[in-house]
């Protein structure tokens, strides 16, 4: 099946990385560095590996509220089809987001939160190239395979609790407001 018609990548991917969080009074600094390896699938096609870094600064005036700013940058390598690099694939993107959380329930050993976020693309290399068609010249665009910002959200005052707190993924929103209901368990 052609890669553009696949519902998924057609193979398991492997992600490894590091997360670091530091608390100072009511402020949290979160950072992450991740690498995703995309092996060759059954159609002898491999999506490009992805390197991602993220940083977030959150203010937690009390246990239930958080407001913050988050930024991520990612680089996706070019895709490969039968061992040959696919032109006009891969790329770089950087996103900035303003976020807010309200923790409305602690139950069943976890936290349930309502999240609002406004995300803005700061930079995107869309891998465009100029083409010539019957109606004149146009720009052909291929999106990079970068979708998410990965950052842990602020947890309770115990620093070790952050490990068991929920992880959220901020989808690239292009300025649209998203409200997400998410639960996490210790």
The single-letter DSSP state of residue 169 is: E
Share of the chain above pLDDT 90, in %: 44
Residue 55 sits in which domain range? 3-185
Domain count along the chain: 1
Q: pLDDT grade, residue 89 (50/70/90)?
A: confident
- The average pLDDT across 105-124 equals 89
In angstroms, the CA 67 to CA 102 distance is 9
Exposure letters 147-186 (e unless 16+ CB within 10 A, then b): ebbbbbbbbeeeeeebeebbebebbbeeeeeeeeebebee
pLDDT digits (tens, 9 = 90+) for 40-57: 998 899 999 999 999 999
Q: CA separation (Å) from 132 to 31, 129, 135, 139, 141?
A: 44, 10, 8, 9, 13
Its pTM stands at 0.64
Average pLDDT, the chain: 75
pLDDT tens digits, one per residue of 27-39: 999 999 999 999 9
| pLDDT band at residue 151 under the 50/70/90 scheme | very low
**Which sign does the torsion angle of CA 161, 154, 73, 11 carry?**
positive
- pLDDT confidence tier of residue 160, bands split at 50, 70 and 90: very low
Region 5-20: mean pLDDT is 85
pLDDT at 2: 60
Three-state secondary-structure class, residue 164: helix
Q: What is the pLDDT, as a whole number, of residue 144?
A: 41
Does residue 63 have a pLDDT over 50?
yes
Nearest to 87 by CA among 141, 41, 38, 35: 141
């Amino acid at each position: 099946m052609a890669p553009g018609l696949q519902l998924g990548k057609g193979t398991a991917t492997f992600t490894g990385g590091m997360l670091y969080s530091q608390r100072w009074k009511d402020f949290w600094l979160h950072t992450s560095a991740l690498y995703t390896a995309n092996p060759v699938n059954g159609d002898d096609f491999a999506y490009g590996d992805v390197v991602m870094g993220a940083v977030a600064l959150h203010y937690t005036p009390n246990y239930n509220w958080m407001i913050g700013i988050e930024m991520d940058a990612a680089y996706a390598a070019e895709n490969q089809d039968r061992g040959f690099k696919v032109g006009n694939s891969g790329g770089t993107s950087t996103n900035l987001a303003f976020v807010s959380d309200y923790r409305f329930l602690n139950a069943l050993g976890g936290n349930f939160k309502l999240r609002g976020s406004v995300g803005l693309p700061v930079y995107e290399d869309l891998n465009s190239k100029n083409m010539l068609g019957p109606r004149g010249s146009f720009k052909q665009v291929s999106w990079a395979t970068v979708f998410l910002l990965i950052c842990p959200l602020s947890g309770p005052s115990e620093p070790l609790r952050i490990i068991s707190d929920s992880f959220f993924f901020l989808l690239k929103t292009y300025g649209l407001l998203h409200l997400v209901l998410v639960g996490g368990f210790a």
